[in-house]
Amino acid sequence: MYRYDEFDHALVQDRVKQFSGQVARRLAGEITEDEFKPLRLMNGVYLQLHAYMLRVAVPYGMVSSRQMRMLAHIARKYDKGYGHFTTRQNIQYNWPALKDIPAILDDLASVEMHALQTSGNCIRNVTSDQFAGAASDEVEDPRIWSEIIRQWSTLHPEFSYLPRKFKFAVTGSPKDRAAIRVHDIGIEVVTGDDGRAAFDVYVGGGQGRTPMVGKLIGKSISQENLLTYLEAVMRVYNMHGRRDHLFKSRIKILVHTIGADEMRRQVEEEFAAMEKDGPVVLPQAEIDRISAYFAAPAYEKLEDGPAELEAAKKENSSFARWVKQNVAAHKVPGYAIANISLKPIGGVAGDATAEQMDVVADLAETYSFDEVRVTHEQNLVLAHVAQKDLYTVWQQLEANGMATPNLGLITDQIVCPGLDYCALANARSIPIGQAIAQKFEDLDRQHDIGELKIKISGCINACGHHHVGHIGILGVDKKGTEFYQISLGGSSDENTSLGDIVGPAFTEDKIVGAVENIVETYLGERQNGERFLDTYRRIGIKPFKEKLYAAD
């Protein structure tokens, strides 16, 4: 399990003291908002529609039970009893008072957590695969490299004032559950020529108002060279990224403008210069030390398909359905990966109450070696549950509204907070997701439809990842009325694609019918057990477009 470095601890304590001082001065009227804003952003404090919002960093989505209990405590004591898990594996609180934030940061620091670099023009949370360390197709645990990158990028003096925010994602498996190809830098751990773990580095992916798929810039970069290589990329960006135009300031615009080949050339040139004058040294001892943080837990010697599991499935069809849909295979016999759905029908996607967080903390401590993971699709994971314990875990989840068996199905949507919470939004997103979920509530129908990822954003910033939804929905404002624009065929996995806009937008009262129409088209056309995405890729947008706008 990841352990906080002493260096980190001192650093965070220092920063909490510093920010507490800044807040006190702000409240006393000694510094203006213009002076305070860049400071509060560096500490994850936003000002949203109703109140401040605090975004707490959850490094690559990993949280211990002790930390989860503290997150619950903060929700209870300083907020309104709940938190929201985000598409960057972080947690957000929607109602903290500025005067309470120093106390919140103190509480977080006591469990080795913080809100550093969750906002502002710096390197943000490094996100990763929620099945890290448990997936059978993993080349190497991506958390090792996520942690190395995290340490390298924390308060890095050269990269604290970038042209714009910068986001990393790392996958350890060829199956990409971390959306690496729509990140500024996406890293896939691969097997190098020498048989050791190496890295394919994708640069210039991103969503927002100009979505782009990352380009493979660095192939099979060695462990020794990784940080120097990443630093070379950051230097090229820092030097040439645009600071004059907010909408053209991400690295994806630079890559798009100069081209992948030229980007690679510039990075290699910088890399060569750094090798000569001062590479970033990453000693093997360091790699070993950090790898040890993620050593395999003390698994028992167990068999697959224990009698108690099979009996429980026979006895309880709801449990059986949950196992089928929400439980994934683990690389160790007798174990399983349990996915906790935070998408109950009628609920708010990704929200969890303090009570639910406590339940998850208890389950993690007892049944999953004290680890919880947050997924970028706004769910949670208990990655190492013994198969014989699955029924007990499910009963607890079921009793607390977290056992909806909808993983990857049409009601397991990514939904950004939208106009109900966010100062940037143009339209509400949460109620749209709820209405769609309600329409497709029937579990038999959901299972028949199969894997269908709906992703909903309330504005062009795409925090809801609509560009990479099988069905993507973007809320827009047309002359004061909320409209919803549909795109089809997006995907964020190892075959990343950006969705195609299907046609004119729909009003709130028409959007659910539109989604239903699209689903019906798919069901009518699918062959040989195709998923929605497969059918779309085979037949293209035309049949969907025709049926959707037929009445017009």
The least CB distance from residue 14 to other proteins, in Å, is: 25
The answer to whether residue 51 forms part of the interface with other proteins (CB under 8 A) is: yes
Binding string to other proteins for residues 75 to 94, with x set by CB under 8 A, is what?
A: -----x--------------
Q: Which of 176, 235, 239, 223 is nearest to 202 (CA)?
A: 176
Q: Which of 197, 268, 258, 256 is nearest to 229 (CA)?
A: 268
Stretch that binds other proteins, among 45-53, 107-115, 372-380, 521-529 (CB under 8 A): 45-53
| Backbone torsions φ then ψ of 305, nearest 5 degrees | 60, 50
| 124: amino acid identity, one letter | R
Q: In degrees to the nearest 10, what's the CA dihedral of 307, 311, 312, 318? A: 130
At a CB cut-off of 8 Å and minimum separation 6, what does 141 contact?
132, 133, 172, 291, 294
What does the alpha-carbon distance between residue 165 and residue 157 come to, in Å, rounded to a whole number? Answer: 15
Residue length, the chain?
552
Q: Are 467 and 207 in contact (CB under 8 A)?
A: yes
Q: Find the binder of other proteins among 1, 10, 27, 311 (CB under 8 A).
A: 27
The answer to whether residue 246 forms part of the interface with other proteins (CB under 8 A) is: no
Q: Find the binder of other proteins among 224, 420, 441, 494 (CB under 8 A).
A: 420
Report the DSSP pairing between strands 82-85 and 327-329. Answer: unpaired
Q: Find the binder of other proteins among 32, 317, 527, 528 (CB under 8 A).
A: 32
Number of residues that bind other proteins (CB under 8 A): 32
Rank residues 254 and 425 by Cβ distance to other proteins and give the closer one: 425
Binding string to other proteins for residues 351 to 390, with x set by CB under 8 A, is what?
A: ----------------------------------------
The answer to whether residue 26 forms part of the interface with other proteins (CB under 8 A) is: yes
Rank residues 312 and 354 by Cβ distance to other proteins and give the closer one: 354
Q: Are 306 and 334 in contact (CB under 8 A)?
A: yes
Residue 349 CA: distances (Å) to CA of 19, 416, 471: 31, 8, 16
Q: Are 384 and 441 in contact (CB under 8 A)?
A: no
What does the alpha-carbon distance between residue 337 and residue 350 come to, in Å, rounded to a whole number? Answer: 19
Stretch that binds other proteins, among 5-13, 64-72, 228-236, 424-432 (CB under 8 A): 424-432
What does the alpha-carbon distance between residue 306 and residue 392 come to, in Å, rounded to a whole number? Answer: 14
Stretch that binds other proteins, among 48-56, 151-159, 291-299, 447-455 (CB under 8 A): 48-56
| 380: amino acid identity, one letter | L
Residues 465-524 that bind other proteins (CB under 8 A): 480, 482
Q: Which of 302, 311, 235, 305 is nearest to 268 (CA)?
A: 235
Rank residues 385 and 414 by Cβ distance to other proteins and give the closer one: 414
Q: Find the binder of other proteins among 85, 152, 421, 484 (CB under 8 A).
A: 421
Stretch that binds other proteins, among 1-9, 30-38, 323-331, 381-389 (CB under 8 A): 30-38
Stretch that binds other proteins, among 10-18, 27-35, 124-132, 485-493 (CB under 8 A): 27-35
Q: Are 302 and 384 in contact (CB under 8 A)?
A: no
Report the DSSP pairing between strands 197-203 and 215-221. Answer: antiparallel
Q: Find the binder of other proteins among 47, 258, 328, 345 (CB under 8 A).
A: 47
Q: Find the binder of other proteins among 1, 97, 246, 273 (CB under 8 A).
A: 97
The answer to whether residue 98 forms part of the interface with other proteins (CB under 8 A) is: yes
The least CB distance from residue 437 to other proteins, in Å, is: 12
- Give residues in contact with other proteins (CB under 8 A): 26-33, 47-52, 80, 95, 97-99, 348, 419-421, 425-428, 430-431, 434, 480, 482
